[in-house]
Amino acid sequence: MSGELAELLRAMPKVELHLHLEGTLEPEMMLRMAARNHVSLPYRTAAEAARAYRFPNLQGFLDLYALGARCLVTEEDFYELAMAYFSRCREQNIVHAEVFFDPQGHLARGVAMGTLFAGIEAARDRIFREAGMTTELVLCFERDRPAANTVELLEEACLAGEIVGIGLDSAERGNPPGKFREVFGAAAALGLHRVAHAGEEGPPAYIWEALQVLQAERVDHGVRCTEDPALVAYLAERRIPLTVCPLSNVALGVFPSLEAHNLGQLFEAGLAVTVHSDDPAYFGGYLTENLVSVLAAQQMGIREAVALQRNGIDAAFCSAERKAGLHRQLSGFLESWGIPV
Ligand code: HPA
Ligand code: ZN
């Protein structure tokens, strides 16, 4: 890749739509929080933790992700975590981020819903005040937990804080989206947006189910759609966004390499693909690193980079007014770089 394209990708105003807040917990911060909260970890140094981050598959990752999340206990912890991520966003020119969080594990450890929201919302307010960066929160349900109390949990969350929508994450195989039909119906009735991880490790049938049973508006990952041509045609025709996370897919063995990824194929098939970072503290890079490395490996250039950003803005859950502002900002940026808009 030319240095100019890498610099363009860094400087371009970007949106992040697939980012797990707990997946931004860098080893140094994890160890610091573990010490102050008296949580034991199997690592003594950040280097030891980083060395342990080799994952045979999604479950291998989820086990370490849950282990790290145990270090988050107080309002201050959630504030620091979110603020560190938003500071990264400033460095990377991420101007709008829709952030997933997984409350079920925290609640099970005795963290109150209000504690979680208080910390995260203080960080959201501060980054908006200081940098004009907009953020939204998406409450994710972990699909390998029971669906039984999820509607109550959603109601509790809506009283405690502000969310823009709900999502579905964690171990996909053996946990089809339909299990969460009721809570997704409740979210729709509350006017909330809906998104679900599907077709990362699970089959194309799970993508169909996320769309048709859960009425998901976006699909997280969705890369296995190419195994079903009728599904690819359906996604293309309706421009249903797929939030693709290349470094995650390689780290979890969904693809053997960035060169072997199907991003270029999805793009050429006319799908509304966007690129994101998933769990950057675990997978070796934030949004700019994902874009730079996957575009180079897939031999994609400026035309595709711009289209990916436009797809991302169109796919966002923020207000129509904010989306129009993001499109204007991107167009102004491209003009200033002499790139035809
Ligand atoms: N997949 C599923 N669940 C997750 C992920 C992921 O990549 N990251 C955090 N929870
Ligand atoms: Zn994810």
Q: What is the 3-state secondary structure (H, E, C) of the chain?
A: CCHHHHHHHHHCCEEEEEEEHHHHCCHHHHHHHHHHHCCCCCCCCHHHHHHHCCCCCHHHHHHHHHHHHCCCCCHHHHHHHHHHHHHHHHHCCEEEEEEEECHHHHHHCCCCHHHHHHHHHHHHHHHHHHHCCEEEEEEEEECCCCCCCHHHHHHHHHHHCCCCEEEEECCCCCCCHHHHHHHHHHHHHCCCEEEEEECCCCCHHHHHHHHHCCCCCEEEECHHHHHCHHHHHHHHHHCCEEEECHHHHHHCCCCCCCCCCCHHHHHHCCCEEEECCECHHHHCCCHHHHHHHHHHHCCCCHHHHHHHHHHHHHHCCCCHHHHHHHHHHHHHHHHHCCCCC
Specify whether the CB–CB gap between 334 and 307 falls below 8 A.
no
pLDDT score for 270: 98
pLDDT score for 191: 98
> CB atoms < 10 A from the CB of 279, how many?
27
Span from the CA of 170 to the centroid of ligand 1 (angstroms): 5
Hunting for tokens 């960035």 — which residue is that?
258
d(CA 60, CA 68): 13
Query: Mean pLDDT across the stretch 44-72?
Result: 96
Question: Which atom of ligand 1 lies closest to the CA of 252?
Answer: 7
Task: Give yes or no for residue 123 having a pLDDT over 80.
Answer: yes
**CA nearest to 207, candidates 224, 192, 193:** 224
End-to-end, the C-alpha distance of the chain in Å comes to: 21
Span from the CA of 267 to the centroid of ligand 2 (angstroms): 20
pTM of the predicted structure, to 2 decimals: 0.98
Which of 58, 64, 100 has most ligand 1 atoms within 8 Å of CB, for mutation?
Answer: 58
Query: Mean pLDDT across the stretch 322-333?
Result: 98
Is residue 217 annotated as part of the catalytic site, yes or no?
A: no
Phi-psi sector, 26: left (phi>0), alpha (psi -120 to 50), beta: beta
Ligand 1 atom 3, closest CA: 170
> CB atoms < 10 A from the CB of 260, how many?
12
Task: Give yes or no for residue 109 having a pLDDT over 90.
Answer: yes
Question: Which atom of ligand 1 lies closest to the CA of 22?
Answer: 9
Alpha-carbon distances of 202 from 164, 191, 215, 248, 296, rounded to whole Å: 26, 28, 18, 15, 27
Position 2 confidence tier, pLDDT thresholds 50, 70, 90: confident
Pocket (CB within 6 angstroms of ligand 1)? 20, 23, 58, 65, 169-170, 197, 200, 248, 278-279
Ligand 1 atom 5, closest CA: 170
Query: Mean pLDDT across the stretch 160-182?
Result: 97
Query: Mean pLDDT across the stretch 270-291?
Result: 98
Ligand 1 atom 1, closest CA: 170
Percent of the chain with pLDDT over 70: 100
Per-residue pLDDT tens digits for 178-218: 999 999 999 999 999 999 999 999 999 999 999 999 999 99
Which of 18, 22, 59, 65 has most ligand 1 atoms within 8 Å of CB, for mutation?
Answer: 65
* Domain 3-336 of CATH type 3.40.50.10860: no
Specify whether the CB–CB gap between 18 and 275 falls below 8 A.
no
Ligand 1 atom 7, closest CA: 278
d(CA 336, CA 108): 50
Span from the CA of 60 to the centroid of ligand 2 (angstroms): 14
Which of 24, 53, 62 has most ligand 1 atoms within 8 Å of CB, for mutation?
Answer: 62
Per-residue pLDDT tens digits for 290-324: 999 999 999 999 999 999 999 999 999 999 999 99
Ligand (nearest to CA of 250): 1
Q: Which of 22, 26, 142, 200 is catalytic?
A: 200
